[in-house]
C-alpha cells in the first residue's frame, strides 16, 4: 500500500510545571518546555513528543535546537522524499544524512508512525511486537536535601505502589543515601542508581563501596563517550554497569556489549533516534542475552504511552522508569493520563499511540505554534 502523503507539520511548544523539582547530577528541573510534533497526512494525523530538555545538559540536544533542526533540515528532507509519501519505517532513512539530532528525529518519526497506525487501526504495541498487557512501574527519585527527606520521598513512592526505586546519585550523594534507603526498606527492595555521567575513571574504588548494597545496577557512571572507562570499571565493581547516555544506536549497543562496557542497557527511543531503532537496540541486546529496560525523559502522556508499548517487548525483563503521570504532572495533556495499578502501567491498545490529546488543555499551555508545509519551504 502506498504511504499517505504528508501535508503539514505543526511544531507546538507547551509549558508544563513539574509537581516537584527534579534534581540530577547535572541540574535541577522545575518545568518542561516540550516540543510536540503534529503531522497531518491525506490519511489522518498523528502526534509525537520530543524528549529534549530545555538545556543541553543530559545530552547535546535541547528543545530550541530540536525545533530548528526539524524546521530547517529534517522537514525539507521528509517533504522531498518520494513526493512526501513517507512510511514510518522510511523516516530514519530519509533523515539519515543529518548527523545526530536523534531526539528531534524520533519525535518526527513518532508522529508519522502514529498517523500511519491510526489510519490502519493498529496499535504501536502490536506494531512493535509487544507481548504484555501491562508492565511493572519503577520510579526515578531525584537528589534531595537530606537523608530524612529521601527516606520520606521513597516511602511515599512505595506506598503509591512503585515496584522498583532508582536513586539519582552524584559525588557527595551516593554511598550514604543508598545505605540509608537499603537499611530503611530492607534487602528485598529492588534498588538501582543513576549517576548521569557524574564520575570519572579514578572513582572506581569509591563506587565499589556501593557493592554492599546489592543494587540491581549502576546507570551511566562515566561520561557518554567513555566506553573503555566503563569496561574497566565493570571489572572493578560488583554492581552491574548499565549504560544510558552512551547508547545512541543499536550499533553502539552492540559495541558496548562487545567491549564489556555494560551488562544491562537502558533503552530510550529519543536517545537512539526513534522507536524503530529502539526496537533494534532491544533486538541486539536480546541476541546477546543482555537485559534491557525502558528509560524515561519526563514524558507527557504521549511519550509515556509509547514507552509502555516499547517496554512490553519480550527482552524488557527489568522494570523501567515508566511512572504514573502524577509523578511529574498535576495535569497531563492526554484525556486518560497513565496510572499505576497494582504496581503496573497498562500497555495502550488503541490505534497509534492509543492516547487522545486533551485539546483545550493543550491550547491553554501552548507557548508557540509554527506550521511547516511542503509549499511553504
Using CB positions, name the residue nearest to ligand SMG: 296
Kindly state whether residue 116 participates in binding Mg ion, applying the rule CB under 5 A. no
Q: What's 202's DSSP letter? A: G
Q: In angstroms, what is the minimal distance from the CB of 233 to Mg ion?
A: 16
Residue 146 CA: distances (Å) to CA of 27, 150, 160, 176: 17, 6, 21, 10
Residues 234-263 that bind Mg ion (CB under 5 A): 244
Please choose which of Mg ion, ligand SMG, none residue 140 contacts, taking the beta carbon within 5 to 8 angstroms, the exact cut-off set by kind. ligand SMG
Residue tagged active-site, from 99, 105, 166, 268:
268
Q: Determine the angle formed by the axes of helices 88-95 and 102-120, rounding to 10 degrees.
A: 160
Q: Using an 8 Å Cβ cutoff, are 23 and 145 in contact?
A: no
**CB–CB of 261/234 below 8 Å?**
yes
- Of the candidates 114, 116, 174, 194, which one interacts with Mg ion according to CB under 5 A? 194
Rounded to whole angstroms, the Cα distance separating 307 from 300 reads 11
> Is 268 among the catalytic positions?
yes
Say how far apart CA 19 and CA 81 lie, in whole Å.
Answer: 42
Cell of 216: 540491581
| Residue 299 interacting with Mg ion (CB under 5 A) | no
Residue 226 engages Mg ion in binding (rule: CB under 5 A): no
What cell was used for 138? 519503577
Q: Which is nearer to Mg ion, 130 or 297 (CB)?
A: 297
Q: Between residues 29 and 41, which has the closer beta carbon with respect to ligand SMG?
A: 29
Strand ranges inside the chain, DSSP E: 6-24, 27-41, 44-50, 134-136, 138-141, 164-168, 191-194, 218-219, 241-243, 264-267, 292-294, 344-346, 366-373
Binding window for Mg ion (CB under 5 A); candidates: 175-183, 215-223, 225-233, 344-352: 215-223
How many Cβ atoms from other residues are within 10 Å of residue 152's Cβ?
Answer: 11
For ligand SMG, give the closer residue by CB, 45 or 194: 194
Considering only the stretches 39-47, 219-227, 283-291, 309-317, report the one whose residues sit in contact with Mg ion under the rule CB under 5 A. 219-227
Q: What cell was used for 366? A: 501552548
Q: Interacting stretch for Mg ion, rule CB under 5 A, among 22-30, 82-90, 189-197, 339-347?
A: 189-197
Nearer to ligand SMG, 44 or 142 (CB): 142
Which of ligand SMG, Mg ion, none does residue 321 bind (CB under 5 to 8 Å by kind)?
ligand SMG
Q: Check if the beta carbon of residue 136 is closer than 8 Å to that of residue 307.
A: no
x/- binding map, residues 16-55, to Mg ion, per CB under 5 A? ----------------------------------------
Which residues in this chain contact ligand SMG in the complex, by CB under 6 A? 24, 29, 53, 58, 140, 194, 196, 244, 295-299, 321, 323
Q: Is 166 a catalytic residue?
A: no
Cβ–Cβ under 8 Å, residues 263 and 243: no
Residue 53's binding partner among ligand SMG, Mg ion, none (Cβ under 5 to 8 angstroms by kind) is ligand SMG
Q: Residue 108 is placed in which grid cell?
A: 518526527
* Minimum CB distance to Mg ion smaller for 219 or for 299: 219
CB nearer to ligand SMG: give 41 or 323: 323
State in angstroms the smallest separation of the CB of 304 from ligand SMG: 8
Beta-carbon neighbour count of residue 19 at 10 Å? Answer: 13
Q: According to the binding rule CB under 5 A, does residue 321 interact with Mg ion?
A: no
Q: How many CB atoms lie within 10 A of CB 106?
A: 32
Binding partner at 41 among ligand SMG, Mg ion, none, C-beta below 5 to 8 Å by kind? none
Closer residue to ligand SMG (CB): 28 or 367: 28
Query: Out of Mg ion, ligand SMG, none, which partner does residue 49 contact, by CB within 5 to 8 A per kind?
Result: none
List, in order, residues 6 or more apart from 319 with CB less than 8 Å away. Answer: 135, 136, 137, 138, 163, 164, 190, 293
Query: What is the closest distance, in whole angstroms, from the C-beta atom of residue 351 to Mg ion in the complex?
Result: 31
C-alpha distances in Å from residue 165, one per residue of 77, 176, 300: 42, 16, 20
Q: Which residues are catalytic?
A: 168, 268
Per CB under 5 A, residues contacting Mg ion are 194, 219, 244
Amino acid at each position: 500500500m502506498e504511504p499517505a502523503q504528508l501535508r503539514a507539520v505543526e511544531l507546538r511548544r507547551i509549558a508544563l510545571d513539574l509537581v516537584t523539582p527534579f534534581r540530577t547530577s547535572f541540574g535541577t528541573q522545575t518545568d518542561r518546555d516540550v516540543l510536540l510534533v503534529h503531522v497531518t497526512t491525506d490519511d489522518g494525523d498523528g502526534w509525537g513528543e520530543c524528549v529534549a530538555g530545555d538545556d543541553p545538559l543530559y545530552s547535546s540536544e535541547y528543545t530550541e535546537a530540536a525545533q530548528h533542526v526539524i524546521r530547517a533540515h529534517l522537514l525539507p528532507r521528509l517533504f522531498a522524499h518520494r513526493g512526501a509519501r513517507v512510511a514510518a519505517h522510511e523516516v530514519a532513512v530519509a533523515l539519515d544524512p543529518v548527523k545526530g539530532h536523534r531526539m528531534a528525529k524520533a519525535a518526527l518519526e513518532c508522529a508519522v508512525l502514529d498517523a500511519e497506525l491510526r489510519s490502519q487501526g493498529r496499535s504501536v504495541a502490536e506494531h512493535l511486537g509487544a507481548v504484555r498487557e501491562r508492565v511493572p512501574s519503577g520510579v526515578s527519585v531525584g537528589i534531595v536535601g537530606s537523608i530524612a527527606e529521601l527516606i520520606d520521598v521513597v516511602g511515599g513512592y512505595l506506598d503509591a505502589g512503585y515496584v522498583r526505586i532508582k536513586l539519582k546519585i552524584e559525588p557527595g550523594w551516593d554511598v550514604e543515601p543508598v545505605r540509608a534507603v537499603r537499611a530503611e526498606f530492607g534487602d528485598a527492595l529492588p534498588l538501582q542508581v543513576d549517576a548521569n555521567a557524574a564520575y570519572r575513571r579514578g572513582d572506581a574504588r569509591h563506587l565499589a563501596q556501593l557493592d554492599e548494597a546489592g543494587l540491581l545496577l549502576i546507570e551511566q557512571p562515566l561520561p557518554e563517550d567513555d566506553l573503555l572507562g566503563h569496561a574497566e570499571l565493570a571489572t572493578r565493581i560488583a554492581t552491574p554497569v548499565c549504560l544510558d547516555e552512551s547508547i545512541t544506536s543499536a550499533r553502539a549497543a552492540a559495541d558496548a556489549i562487545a567491549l564489556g562496557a555494560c551488562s544491562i542497557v537502558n533503552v530510550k527511543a529519543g536517545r537512539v533516534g526513534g522507536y524503530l531503532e529502539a526496537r533494534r537496540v532491544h533486538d541486539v541486546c536480546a541476541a546477546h542475552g543482555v537485559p534491557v529496560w525502558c528509560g524515561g525523559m519526563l514524558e507527557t502522556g504521549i511519550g509515556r504511552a509509547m514507552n509502555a508499548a516499547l517496554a512490553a517487548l519480550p527482552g524488557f525483563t527489568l522494570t523501567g522508569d515508566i511512572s504514573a503521570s502524577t509523578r511529574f504532572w498535576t495535569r497531563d495533556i492526554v484525556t486518560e493520563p497513565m496510572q499505576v495499578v497494582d504496581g503496573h502501567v497498562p500497555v495502550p491498545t488503541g490505534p497509534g499511540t492509543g492516547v487522545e490529546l486533551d485539546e483545550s488543555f493543550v491550547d491553554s499551555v501552548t507557548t508557540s505554534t509554527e506550521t511547516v508545509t511542503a509549499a511553504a519551504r
